[in-house]
Amino acid sequence: MAEKLLEINNLHVEYKTDEAVVYAVNGLDLTVNRGETIGLVGETGAGKTTTALSIMRLLPERIGYIKDGSIKLENKDIIRATEADMRLIRGESVSMIFQDPMTSLNPILTVGEQISEVLELHKKNMSKAEKSKRVDEILELVGLPALRKKDYPHQFSGGMKQRVVIAIALACEPKLLLADEPTTALDVTIQAQVLEMMKDLKEKINTAMILITHDLGIVAQTCDRVAIMYAGEIIEIGTAEDIFEGKDHHPYTVGLFGSIPDMKKTSKRLSPIEGLMPDPTNLPDGCKFHDRCPKCMEICKTKNPDVFLEGMHSIKCHLYSLN
């Protein structure tokens, strides 16, 4: 049986400004098993990055906070961990690759020094020579020659910088990797190389991964399971097969697939989802998708739908709970 690595229950995350409270994540449940890759998919503002920042406990200070729920990594309560504990957990148990490699690296340190920093913090027993050897190994693992460790970030191309960022994230072989749009800033050919490399690395060191993206093509190539997020909730989750091949879907998932060109069909226009995501400071009653949903019923406007579960596939929609 698959061993649970991360367990999130009923997570609520808010951002408080002088003007309003933003309800960014609203009762999210998610389990990630060891070695598993989960795709977290949804529009901008769906709460994907906020979920990842909550796992890292890196929400913006003073305005972002976890209002309710629990996050357990290897049964350790992340929400109640001290800041000193979190410094050890970050990098060693869980690492994050941020969206933009250009701003994730320190311009005044060589890439070797930046990889060494992580080892300094987490591998205190390693000698200087061992650390240097590890830097060489990790650079070669991500497809960069070890002798480039003496170079500075500006001496690398965008794709190479992203490889360095991945090398830093993987230096201590974390059990969980949070990859937030890791290839968005890269061109398509480099994107394919970086994804292939991440897949290989994952197999080599059995790291579990939450891959945050709005690109369903990337998800299809890399993920074991897929969670679709909307307005801070997971509205559908299942194996990649359930999501890409199954016949039952949440109307929002149907809309997402309708927005992608199908190479096998001739069509003049795509069918985008009409309307916009609800204002997160003023979420509607009932189903949060109801004012955009072509299948909306009266009950959807007032009652939050239950989760309909079949095997590993779950959908949060009245259409299924009424069956």
Asked if 305 is part of the footprint of ligand SF4 (rule: CB under 6 A), the reply reads yes
d(CA 220, CA 223): 6
21 binds ligand SF4 (CB under 6 A): no
Is residue 171 close enough to count as binding ligand SF4 by CB under 6 A? no
Residue ranges in 97-116 that form contacts with ligand SF4 under rule CB under 6 A? none
Q: Is 255 in the site for ligand SF4 (CB under 6 A)?
A: no
> Does residue 249 interact with ligand SF4 by CB under 6 A?
no
318 binds ligand SF4 (CB under 6 A): yes
Instruction: In angstroms, give the least distance from the CB of 81 to ligand SF4.
Output: 36
Nearest approach in angstroms of CB 321 to ligand SF4 is 8
Nearest to 195 by CA among 97, 119, 110: 97
Residue number, 53 or 315, with CB nearest to ligand SF4: 315
Q: Report CA 164 to chain centroid distance, whole Å.
A: 19
Residue 198 interacts with ligand SF4 (CB under 6 A): yes or no: no
Do 30 and 5 meet the contact criterion of CB atoms below 8 Å apart?
no
DSSP structural state of residue 298: G
Whichever of 146 and 299 has its CB closer to ligand SF4, that residue is 299
- Binding residues for ligand SF4, how many (CB under 6 A)? 14
Instruction: Say if residues 91 and 122 touch (Cβ distance below 8 Å).
Output: yes
**What is residue 28's DSSP assignment?**
E
Choice from 251, 255, 278, 280 touching ligand SF4 (CB under 6 A): 251
CB of residue 38 vs ligand SF4: minimum separation in angstroms? 22
At 63 the three-state DSSP class reads coil
Burial of 36 (0-12, 13-18, 19+ CB in 10 A): buried
- Piece of the chain touching ligand SF4 by CB under 6 A; list 17-25, 46-54, 208-216, 311-319: 311-319
DSSP state of 32: E
Residue 48 engages ligand SF4 in binding (rule: CB under 6 A): no
Query: Which two three-digit tokens encode residue 319?
Result: 């259409």
- Give all strands of the β-sheet with 233-239 in edge-to-edge order: 94-97, 176-180, 208-213, 37-41, 225-230, 233-239, 313-316, 307-310
Q: For the CB of residue 316, give the shortest distance to ligand SF4 in the complex, in Å.
A: 8
Least distance between ligand SF4 and beta carbon 294 (Å)? 8
39 phi, psi to nearest 5 deg: -90, 130
Alpha-helix runs per DSSP H in the chain: 48-56, 83-92, 101-104, 111-122, 128-141, 158-170, 188-205, 216-222, 240-245, 251-258, 318-321
Q: Smaller CB distance to ligand SF4: residue 120 or 306? A: 306
The binding track of 270-299 with respect to ligand SF4, each residue x by CB under 6 A or -, is -----------------x-xx--x-xxx--
Among 91, 300, 313, 314, binds ligand SF4 (CB under 6 A): 300
Which residues are at the interface with ligand SF4 (CB under 6 A)?
Answer: 250-251, 287, 289-290, 293, 295-297, 300, 305, 317-319
